[in-house]
């Protein structure tokens, strides 16, 4: 029996132990019948020979039980509420999987000539159009394999644009509320990130941008809403300042779930943005195959987009490769097409009205949690938030209870913890993003649990220090794991 009140939906169940696959298998077991080889023997180059990897010998049922057991220890959006801030862990509708599994898609070879894969090309074309409509921008590519590669593609576009203007620029402005990958993407493209601190309201100051923006600065990378969950209300003024100095504005689309159908990125002055389809457009966060990070741009940058461009002449869809200004390919074939089908399925299922409704509810839900937890947890920026809200452990400090303890206790109560210790500029941050797919009853239950934990922090802090207790493992030694990582099996 675990001390403390029984709060939230979390309960203990039977935990099934599961060894590593190497400990499970036995020599000679096999999960499939392989036909006799009818390929004649041939000499192989010595350099290609050697000891193969140590794969365990397993039967089919070994493998199925192994992964089923592991999945029982797991927690996903299909298990319960997953309010991981900055990650938009919305429910992934199953129709997306159904559509993506259609043989017409799965069996279309990516090297089919245009006339034999019109459906594939049409989907890409229409998805590009849809992303342009939602963002307000003019042209798109679906090639990048993930948000970070979308950012990198965006930075290549910045570089190509400045090169076409005859001057290479070396720096890029980076608010400290930017997503962590932004400075990395810019640096990988050869730009030196110049940090801008946000003001006491958690937002960018136009004057600060004016001071730092010069003719050696390629532009600015802005995440809007920013990682404090706040809308950059000076965005248009900032974009004008950057444009006046010949720079470009990159809009990190990571937080688009707050904006669909409400904010026009082009009118905000954004020249390039990427989409995280696994956040905003309800595709799986890993585990469901590779991701995608489509990029939208203004008309002026269209010619630089990766090749091929998918075009439509009124009758047929084509892959256009004769593009002298294009960056070239950033991914083979159609990009990670399978996940783009799922995103397209979501966009069509929702339509304009319900995409806007999704964003409205995402913002409403975050603000509802903010108001209901006010006074229970400290609000570093007490402002109307967007789709996520940042609290901190400041009110729990006097009981020696930290953000980590609160997060671990939430696990026992049946929730995935929120994002913790991010954004870095908030000490002990607890970043909650409920998304639009939680109903009012579930939000209320989560709020009740968070309030109860705040009370437990006062009355029984050790309960929090000793959480979690209902999982297969207790509090892990993260420091030991980071200092002594064990990255191999079967040794």
Partner 1 sequence: MKELNELNFPDDVKYTREHEWAKIEEGNVFVGITDYAQDQLGDIVFVEMPAEGDSFEEGEEFGTLESVKAVSEIYLPVSGEILAINEALEDEPEMVNKDPYEAWIVKVKPADVSEFDNLMDKTAYLKLVESEFDSEPDSEPDSEFE
Binding site for partner 1 (CB under 8 A): 200-201, 233, 378-384, 397, 402, 421-422, 424, 426-427, 478-479, 482-483
- Residue 185, helix vs strand vs coil: helix
Integer Cα distance of 75 and 410 in angstroms: 13
Kindly report each contact of residues 27-36 with a partner whose C-beta sits within 8 Å and lies 24 or more positions away, as own/partner.
27/57, 28/57, 29/57, 29/58, 29/59, 29/62, 30/57, 30/58, 30/59, 31/58, 31/59, 31/60, 31/62, 31/63, 32/60
Shortest CB 476 distance to partner 1, Å: 10
**Closer CB to partner 1, residue 421 or residue 471?**
421
Residue with tokens 């070879």: 109
Shortest CB 359 distance to partner 1, Å: 16
**Closer CB to partner 1, residue 91 or residue 376?**
376
Compute the C-alpha angle 62/68/71, nearest 5°. 140
Q: Which of 219, 245, 221 is nearest to 232 (CA)?
A: 221
Shortest CB 325 distance to partner 1, Å: 35
**Closer CB to partner 1, residue 203 or residue 309?**
203
Residue with tokens 């002026």: 300
**Closer CB to partner 1, residue 227 or residue 402?**
402
Shortest CB 151 distance to partner 1, Å: 18
Q: Are 68 and 37 in contact (CB under 8 A)?
A: no
Tokens describing residue 464? 């929090």
Shortest CB 378 distance to partner 1, Å: 8
**Closer CB to partner 1, residue 381 or residue 469?**
381
Shortest CB 137 distance to partner 1, Å: 25
Instruction: Name the pairing type of β-strands 192-196 and 217-223.
Output: unpaired
- The total of other beta-carbon atoms located within 10 Å of residue 214's CB is 12
Shortest CB 429 distance to partner 1, Å: 10
Shortest CB 422 distance to partner 1, Å: 8
432 φ, ψ (degrees, to nearest 5): -110, 125
**Closer CB to partner 1, residue 230 or residue 270?**
230
Tokens describing residue 115? 């006339």
Omega within 30 of 0 (cis) for the link into 468: yes
**Closer CB to partner 1, residue 35 or residue 485?**
485
Integer Cα distance of 472 and 337 in angstroms: 37
**Closer CB to partner 1, residue 142 or residue 362?**
362
Which stretches does DSSP call E strand in 197-351?
217-223, 248-253, 272-275, 295-297, 309-312, 317-320
**Closer CB to partner 1, residue 163 or residue 201?**
201
Q: Are 321 and 299 in contact (CB under 8 A)?
A: no
**Closer CB to partner 1, residue 68 or residue 233?**
233
Torsional class of 46: left (φ above 0), alpha (ψ -120 to 50), beta (otherwise): alpha
Shortest CB 404 distance to partner 1, Å: 9
Shortest CB 382 distance to partner 1, Å: 5
Tokens describing residue 117? 């894969």
């Amino acid at each position: 029996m675990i001390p403390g009140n029984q709060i939230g939906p979390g309960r203990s169940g039977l935990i099934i132990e599961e060894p590593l696959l190497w400990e499970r298998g036995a020599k000679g077991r096999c999960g499939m019948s392989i036909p006799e080889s009818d390929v004649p023997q041939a000499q192989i180059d010595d350099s290609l020979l050697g000891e193969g990897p140590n794969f365990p010998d397993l039967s089919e049922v070994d493998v199925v039980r192994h992964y089923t057991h592991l999945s029982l220890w797991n927690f996903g959006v299909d298990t319960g509420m997953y309010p991981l801030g900055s990650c938009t862990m919305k429910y992934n509708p199953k129709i997306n999987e159904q559509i993506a599994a259609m043989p017409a898609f799965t069996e279309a070879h990516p090297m089919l000539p245009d006339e034999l894969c019109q459906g594939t090309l049409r989907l890409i074309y229409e998805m590009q159009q849809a992303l342009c409509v939602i963002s307000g921008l003019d042209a798109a590519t679906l090639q990048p394999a993930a948000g970070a590669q979308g950012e990198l593609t965006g930075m290549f576009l910045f570089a190509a644009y400045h090169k076409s203007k005859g001057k290479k620029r070396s720096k890029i402005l980076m608010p400290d509320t930017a997503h962590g990958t932004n400075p990395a993407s810019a640096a990988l493209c050869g730009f030196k990130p110049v940090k801008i601190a946000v003001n006491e309201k958690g937002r960018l100051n136009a004057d600060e941008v004016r001071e730092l923006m010069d003719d050696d600065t390629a532009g600015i990378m802005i995440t809007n809403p920013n990682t404090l969950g706040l809308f950059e209300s000076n965005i248009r003024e900032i974009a004008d300042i950057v444009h006046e100095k010949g720079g470009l504005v990159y809009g990190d689309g990571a937080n688009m779930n707050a904006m669909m159908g409400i904010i026009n990125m082009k009118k905000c002055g954004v020249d390039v943005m990427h989409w995280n389809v696994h956040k905003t457009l309800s595709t799986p966060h890993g585990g469901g195959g590779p991701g995608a990070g489509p990029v939208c741009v203004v008309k002026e940058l269209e010619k630089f987009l990766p090749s091929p461009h998918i075009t439509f002449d009124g009758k047929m869809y084509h892959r256009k490769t004769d593009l002298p200004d294009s960056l070239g390919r950033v991914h083979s074939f159609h990009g990670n097409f399978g996940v783009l089908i799922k995103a397209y399925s979501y966009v069509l299922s929702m339509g304009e009205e319900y995409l806007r409704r999704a964003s409205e509810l995402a913002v409403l839900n975050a603000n509802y949690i903010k108001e209901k937890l006010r006074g229970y947890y400290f609000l570093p920026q007490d402002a109307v938030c967007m789709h996520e809200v940042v609290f901190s452990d400041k009110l729990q400090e006097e009981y020696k209870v930290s953000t980590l303890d609160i997060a671990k206790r939430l696990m026992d109560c049946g929730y995935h913890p929120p994002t913790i210790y991010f954004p870095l500029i908030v000490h002990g941050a607890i970043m909650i993003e409920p998304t639009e797919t939680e109903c009012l009853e579930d939000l209320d239950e989560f709020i009740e649990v968070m309030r109860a934990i705040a009370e437990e922090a006062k009355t029984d802090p050790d309960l929090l220090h000793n959480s979690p207790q209902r999982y297969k493992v207790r509090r892990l030694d993260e420091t030991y794991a980071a200092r002594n990582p064990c990255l191999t099996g079967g040794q």
